[in-house]
A = this chain, B = another copy of it.
Amino acid sequence: MAASAVALGLIATPVLAQDARTIRAAEQVRDQALKGNIALDYVTQITTRFGPRPAGSRAEQDASAWAADYMRAHGFQNVRIETFPLIGWERGEESAEILGARPQKLVAAALGHSIATPAGGIEADIVFFDGLDALMAAPAGSLTGKIAMVDGGQMVRMQDGSGYGPLSRLRSQGPTEAAKRGAVAFVMRSAGSDEHRMPHTGTTRYVDGKVPLPSFALSAPDADQIARLVGMGETVRLRLKSTAHTYETVSQNVIGDIVGASRPDEIIVLGSHMDSWDLGTGAIDDAAGGAITLAAAKLIAEQGRPARTVRVVLYGSEEVAQPTDHGNGGGAYVRNIGAGVEKHVIAGESDFGADRVYALGLPPGSQGTDFARIAERVLRPLGILPGEAELFGGVDIGPLARAGVPVFGLRQDGTRYFDLHHTADDTLDKIDPAQMTQNVAAWAALVRLIADSDVDFRAARAAQEAKR
């Protein structure tokens, strides 16, 4: 198998005998994954032994060292840890409450990299906005001494997670826009689709090297409560406290290879991220992604070395990525490999939980090719349909994509992802082992096909671009 890298060509040709063998191998590794794989073991161990793994924390470092050992124990080669500097962030203690004659405690969480409040907290009346546009329409100075409270609405549950974008923008830009208008703090309804007392944290944007205001997410029921009080004509005065602080540290990427038998310099990069938010244990975001890609690569190796090299990267510090691609593992990886990026034939990441894959996204130019048809045939028994072209990747492989590496996606059902994302509720019990296993089977089968083919996804993309 390994010695016969095969065509699976971009031009429509009859399926060759070599192709048939490759297809059979992909089907076999797919079915083997369904019989058993290490994904649940990995995700159980890493979430239980290390708990939350914030970027740059001791827990992330220890978990990365443990994961490197885990890769070695499961047959990966050239396992290595590459560190990079990072500004870490610790939540410390925090609280939020409604003051006045009828005080009520609120369930809130500081947004990632939020600055602390003064030790006694911030006490101020809120000004309520029903979205980022409303906040941006407020005149300069109109929030002086006030807390900006923005309710961007509840996310609707969607298979593809759409709806997160606008709320993620509110989280990124809200503190800055509130500060511009004189606010002393920023509070938002969580970017999430659940109705639990679970605030969703997440990073917010630096301006001149720091987040401009103490910034918090409220759980959806708490945001509802404030909206109702405002609707009843009450003046809502809050006290917000946070001892959050930053510190200098390092994070790291853990890298391991299944070295290709005949074309080892052609690298397929699979990955996910090691860090998690601090509130949960990062089971679905994103120990699951590591579990799925590690389990798939191990199954491929056990079946027989592929022609190309299959690399798994457990990226450090995905959650706190700023637009510069500094301080996150994906950016560090691309800087470290330098010109070696040219050897990367394709990259994929698994970072959308552990629920089932419903669609395949190949790089532009690959749609309708023999390779695509064969991949679709191998994935169809898993309930996976052809999907639109994959263009950008996520935070981990975005830097690779921007450096010219084609990316693929095995798109997961995100219907319940934003119920859990960035909350204390992101714990092991939320993973459905059967659905995670379907992911492993899909990754193993697709990567087997890619790794034993000579398909040039860059050339295919370039050919398509030339046609336009």
One of B98, B197, B427 near A427 (C-beta < 8 A): B197
- Nearest CB on B from A276, distance (A): 12
Residue with the highest number of chain B CB atoms closer than 10 Å, among A105, A196, A425: A196
A49 near B197 with CB under 8 A, answer no
A51 near B102 with CB under 8 A, answer yes
Q: Is A424 an interface residue (CB 8 A)?
A: yes
Q: Mark A447-463, 1 if CB is under 8 A from B, else 0.
A: 00000000000000000
Q: Is A346 an interface residue (CB 8 A)?
A: no
Counting contact residues on chain A (CB < 8 A from B), the size range is 35 or more
A44 near B228 with CB under 8 A, answer yes
Q: Is A220 an interface residue (CB 8 A)?
A: yes
Q: Is A232 an interface residue (CB 8 A)?
A: yes
A221 near B428 with CB under 8 A, answer yes
Residues of chain B lying within 8 A (CB to CB) of residue A220: 429
Binding site for B on A (CB under 8 A): 44, 48-52, 59, 62, 98, 101-105, 107, 195-198, 220-221, 224-225, 228-229, 232, 280-281, 423-425, 427-430
How far apart are the CA atoms of A48 and B198 in the complex, in Å?
18
One of B103, B197, B424, B428 near A280 (C-beta < 8 A): B197
Residues of chain B lying within 8 A (CB to CB) of residue A427: 195, 197, 221, 224-225
How far apart are the CA atoms of A430 and B50 in the complex, in Å?
33
Copies of this chain: 2
- Nearest CB on B from A193, distance (A): 13
How far apart are the CA atoms of A453 and B35 in the complex, in Å?
67
How far apart are the CA atoms of A408 and B101 in the complex, in Å?
39
Residues of chain B lying within 8 A (CB to CB) of residue A197: 198, 280, 423-425, 427
- Nearest CB on B from A170, distance (A): 21
B196 near A51 with CB under 8 A, answer no
* Contact A102 to B224, CB < 8 A, known contacts A196-B198, A197-B427: no
How far apart are the CA atoms of A53 and B425 in the complex, in Å?
26
B429 near A224 with CB under 8 A, answer yes
How far apart are the CA atoms of A425 and B225 in the complex, in Å?
13
* Contact A221 to B429, CB < 8 A, known contacts A50-B102, A102-B49, A232-B49: yes
Residue with the highest number of chain B CB atoms closer than 10 Å, among A44, A198, A427: A427
Nearest residue, chain B, Cβ from A222: B427
One of B48, B102, B196 near A229 (C-beta < 8 A): B48
- Nearest CB on B from A194, distance (A): 9
How far apart are the CA atoms of A283 and B104 in the complex, in Å?
15
